Structure 1
């Protein structure tokens, strides 16, 4: 179950960040409208992925928020070629600890 839920969380993050990136390119860097259209469609698909999680909305989105933070730092490193500083790394580790407690600790 952990691998399945983490896969869905990271897929959602990839879609949200990727879709947002395409919209960013369209509006901020004046790329073609196709960037905005594809970005919007990718963001729509992102919105569906969290509904596949086995928990209630609040817990899913709280956990997803943490996954999004870590994924954004990784996106910055891989796509924007911005090496994370020590505070981004420390913050990401803290967020992952929180995500683990929120979503995976037994109730």
Structure 2
């Protein structure tokens, strides 16, 4: 159980870094915020590239699973930061994705 909690924490931390870094770069380029937004966003995205290496599985499985976590975190980010309430299809799709990645990453082999 500890391994599941640890791997989930790493997945969610990686998603937060990627979405947060990407958001800052978005602000810099699309909304003409200062260059510091781009620099900090780029540094955060670099850190994101390191975090998934902390996972115990091989690259393909880690990144496929992370993709599912990213979907869920993107919907949550949209709700908290962009103030966009997810519709029922976004929620249903997120649940389907979460079930899929849980099977892919955690099913015993």
Does 1:2 find its partner at 2:4? yes
TM-score (norm 1): 1.00
Per-residue CA shift, 1:76-101, capped at 9, x if unaligned? Answer: 00000000000000000000000100
State how far apart, in whole Å, the 2-side matches of 1:57 and 1:16 are. 17
- 1:52 and 2:58 matched: no
Aligned to 1:98: 100
Q: Deviations over 1:48-86 (max 9, x none)?
A: 000000000000000000000000000000000000000
For structure 2, the 5+ residue unaligned runs are none
> For 2:7 and 2:59, how far apart are their aligned partners in 1?
14
Counterparts of 1:34 and 1:73, CA distance in 2: 26
How far apart are residue 10 of structure 1 and its match? Answer: 0.1
1:69 counterpart SS class: helix
Q: Following superposition, which runs of at least 4 residues in structure 1 exceed 4 angstroms of deviation?
A: none
Q: Provide the rounded CA distance (Å) in 1 between the counterparts of 2:39 and 2:104.
A: 35
Alignment RMSD: 0.2
